[in-house]
Structure 1
Amino acid sequence: MQLLPGVILLTSSLALSIASRHLDREWQMWKSRHERNYITEEEEELRRNAWEATWHKVQNHNLLADQGKKNFRLEMNHFADKTSIERKSIGCLKRPSSEEKPIEVRNLQTNVNIPKDVDWRKENCVTTPKNQGICGSCWAFATVGTLESRYCIKHKQLLNMSEQQLVDCDQNDEGCCGGFPRKALEYVSEHGIMKAEDYEYVEHSQMCAYKRKETIKMKMSKFYVLPEESNMAAAVALDGPLTVGFAVTDEFQLYNGEGIFDGECAEQANHAIIIVGYGTEDDEDYWIIKNSWGTDWADGGYGKVRRNVNHCAIGEEAATADILGPDEDIEE
């Protein structure tokens, strides 16, 4: 039996109306969950349109994941009301100029036996993922998070250290306009680092309030870079977490932590994250990464990134430092 044109039109209109009401409910729930209050109607309309575009992107991607055509899933997280252009414009990693002196490059023995999987969270030596907020301070969070873990491994004490000190006081980096973990490690080796409770994070740059007498008693012997992922894995297994650069696009921002991320990459590294472990799943090697976008991102602030293929340039900017234990001395 053929439907009359009027019936077809009515059915289509009804379906669109139902879909619209569904999105209205989803929008209100999303705003409530993420505490969004827009100042003007124009701003709300702009953000609603961006949110709807994200919603369709997420639905289409996850449909492909359900069909086995994608290895990871996306979600409507706290970045969902940003436009694709806004998400792609993220950039808080500033590379040093070619004229600046390089720091030590360390090649570890990659033929040594290291565990098949490592996760420093199991040793209670990784602080809860923090949130850099609107400040472009990923470089500070990656540096501090790495030092927190490596200090814990040597001293059996997990301390929250101050990212704000780096944002305000590290004159070789650019505060909320970006920076580079290599430079930040050099700053900490010279000045030390305070506890977060003594120098709290405020999401913007301010006058330096560093107090040397309040720095954590920490001996840092060397800071260095690690070429290639095999070196990186050995360093993570033997000594602890390290900072890496990552070429982020909006797909990574919407990643929900399910599956191993092997999605789109920017042209070069533009974000800094921390590697806290590695493993293999269904014959696919991965890194366990800790981000600085809060616990609402991905799997409580953590994710898995494909390993041994230099995915999103993750193997090009690895850096870390040796933290000495209480009974160790710096070699002359």
Structure 2
Amino acid sequence: MKILVLPVLLAATHAFVPIDLKSGTLTGKALVEYVNSVQSLFTVEHVDVTKEFMKSRVMDVKYASPPPSDEIRSTEVNTVLAKKIPDTFDARKKWKNCTSIKMIRNQANCGSCWAFGAAEVISDRICIVTKGARQPIISPTDMLECCGYYCGYGCDGGYSIMALRWWVSTGVVTGGDYQGDGCKPYPFCMSAGCPDAVTPDCALSCQSKYNKEYAKDKNFGSSAYYVGWNVSVIQTEIMTNGPVEASFKVYEDFYKYKKGVYQYTAGEVLGGHAIKIIGWGTENGTDYWLNANSWGADWGEKGFFKMRRGVNECGIEGNVVAGKADVDTL
């Protein structure tokens, strides 16, 4: 009789806690079948890759949190809450002329998400503050190569706040994805014959086909700061200044995410990850953050995903950072 009752109990509690202690040991197809059978908030699909490959696309889990030595609240922005926060918000719709907000980039098998998240936020905010007059696609490669120990350890991970501080102090050049445009395009891709994802040496020069000097291609920020844990504070920041960067712990069921509102259900932790939050909404009664990932448009909802909002799911609300462009240098 207990065997018949258990699935009902599990289904009733899936929206609040991980299902059971054994779920953390599930992997592969067994994990997919389990997650899809015990909850209905989101859907996962089987991806035929090794666990080592999955881990190569995230960073060391320590980078999901602020630097240990950081006085996190000392640089938190003093946000005046918006008088009215809408039930739904999508930065792609508010700033329709900003191409970068709609872009999904691809970090390949390098744990450079921290640099991608920062580069995406910087790109968006330059466009927003100039009302679309300037729309550079900022290079994650420049930070990956040259920020060094200040930010972290390249393809092994880095701190999102340090990447934005580096933008303020040093500036960041332009650069698209693999073999793309700009000063420093990304050196890695997912196709056969692509270079191994090993952190490159710092190069203070642009690719040969780019007709601008490295130093003159730099874009600078005027500030870099933590955004408060409060949901309304994060929403106000996004509505006012543009998308933000957030970091969280990644589990195997997130890697296999296909659609819906994600919440951790089963699988072991793979590492830390940084993404861009561009909005929020509610789906089937569940509040969510709307996010842009950097795993290409074939992952998730054409590269985007939703994650439960208001419960600090996997730590997503605990390490939100942003910055402002230096308008005097634009």
TM-score range, shorter chain: 0.7 to 0.9
State the TM-score, normalized to the length of structure 2. 0.73
Deviations 1:153-184 (A, max 9, x none): 11214322111100110021211121011111
Deviation at 1:227, TM superposition (A): 1.8
Gaps of 5+ in 1: 1-52
Matching of residue 195 in structure 1 with residue 174 in structure 2: yes
Deviations 1:82-101 (A, max 9, x none): 23x76468434635543346
Code of the residue aligned with 2:69 in structure 1: it is E
Counterpart mapping for 1:18-97 below 5 A: 54-64=28-38, 69-77=39-47, 80-83=48-51, 87=54, 90-92=58-60, 94=63, 95=65, 97=67
Deviation at 1:120, TM superposition (A): 1.5
Q: Distance in 2 between matches of 1:293 and 1:97?
A: 25
> What secondary structure, in the 3-state scheme, does the structure 1 residue paired with 2:50 have?
coil
One of 203, 216, 229 as aligned partner of 1:209: 203
Task: Tell me if the contact between 1:88 and 1:250 (Cα under 8 Å) persists in the aligned partners.
Answer: no
One of 132, 155, 158 as aligned partner of 1:176: 155
State the TM-score, normalized to the length of structure 1. 0.72
> What secondary structure, in the 3-state scheme, does the structure 2 residue paired with 1:237 have?
helix
- Cα–Cα, structure 1 residues 244 and 75, in superposed 2: closer, same or farther, change >3 Å? same
Q: Which residue is equivalent to 2:90?
A: 119
Q: Distance in 1 between matches of 2:241 and 2:170?
A: 23
Q: Distance in 2 between matches of 1:269 and 1:323?
A: 30
> What secondary structure, in the 3-state scheme, does the structure 1 residue paired with 2:253 have?
helix
Q: Distance in 1 between matches of 2:270 and 2:234?
A: 19
Deviation at 1:298, TM superposition (A): 0.1
Task: Tell me if the contact between 1:147 and 1:321 (Cα under 8 Å) persists in the aligned partners.
Answer: yes
Deviations 1:272-296 (A, max 9, x none): 1110111122332110111111111
Deviation at 1:108, TM superposition (A): 1.6
Q: Distance in 2 between matches of 1:75 and 1:214?
A: 45
> What secondary structure, in the 3-state scheme, does the structure 1 residue paired with 2:250 have?
coil
Q: Distance in 2 between matches of 1:176 and 1:114?
A: 37
Q: Distance in 1 between matches of 2:271 and 2:33?
A: 27
Counterpart mapping for 1:245-284 below 5 A: 245-256=247-258, 258-264=259-265, 270-284=272-286
Code of the residue aligned with 1:190 in structure 2: it is S
- Cα–Cα, structure 1 residues 111 and 121, in superposed 2: closer, same or farther, change >3 Å? closer
Q: Which has the higher contact order (CA 8 A, sep 6+)?
A: 2
Q: Distance in 1 between matches of 2:307 and 2:97?
A: 22
> What secondary structure, in the 3-state scheme, does the structure 1 residue paired with 2:319 have?
coil
Q: Which residue is equivalent to 1:145?
A: 120
Deviation at 1:230, TM superposition (A): 2.1
Task: Tell me if the contact between 2:31 and 2:253 (Cα under 8 Å) persists in the aligned partners.
Answer: no
Percent pairwise identity:
28
- Cα–Cα, structure 1 residues 324 and 88, in superposed 2: closer, same or farther, change >3 Å? closer
Task: Tell me if the contact between 2:88 and 2:279 (Cα under 8 Å) persists in the aligned partners.
Answer: yes
> What secondary structure, in the 3-state scheme, does the structure 1 residue paired with 2:287 have?
strand
- Cα–Cα, structure 1 residues 217 and 164, in superposed 2: closer, same or farther, change >3 Å? closer
Q: Which residue is equivalent to 1:99?
A: 69
Q: Which residue is equivalent to 2:192?
A: none
Q: Which residue is equivalent to 1:290?
A: 292
Which deviates more from structure 2 when the two are superposed, residues 164-173 or residues 126-135?
126-135
Which deviates more from structure 2 when the two are superposed, residues 101-110 or residues 154-163?
101-110
Q: Which residue is equivalent to 1:164?
A: 141
Deviation at 1:130, TM superposition (A): 1.2
Deviation at 1:205, TM superposition (A): 1.9
Task: Tell me if the contact between 1:222 and 1:322 (Cα under 8 Å) persists in the aligned partners.
Answer: yes
Q: Distance in 2 between matches of 1:112 and 1:75?
A: 41
Gaps of 5+ in 2: 1-26, 176-181, 189-197, 206-213
Matching of residue 224 in structure 1 with residue 225 in structure 2: yes
Q: Distance in 2 between matches of 1:119 and 1:221?
A: 25
Deviations 1:303-332 (A, max 9, x none): 00110111111111000001254699xxxx
Aligned residues: 268
Code of the residue aligned with 1:62 in structure 2: it is N
Q: Which residue is equivalent to 1:32?
A: none
Q: Which residue is equivalent to 1:306?
A: 308
Matching of residue 108 in structure 1 with residue 76 in structure 2: no
Code of the residue aligned with 1:166 in structure 2: it is M
Q: Distance in 1 between matches of 2:320 and 2:270?
A: 14
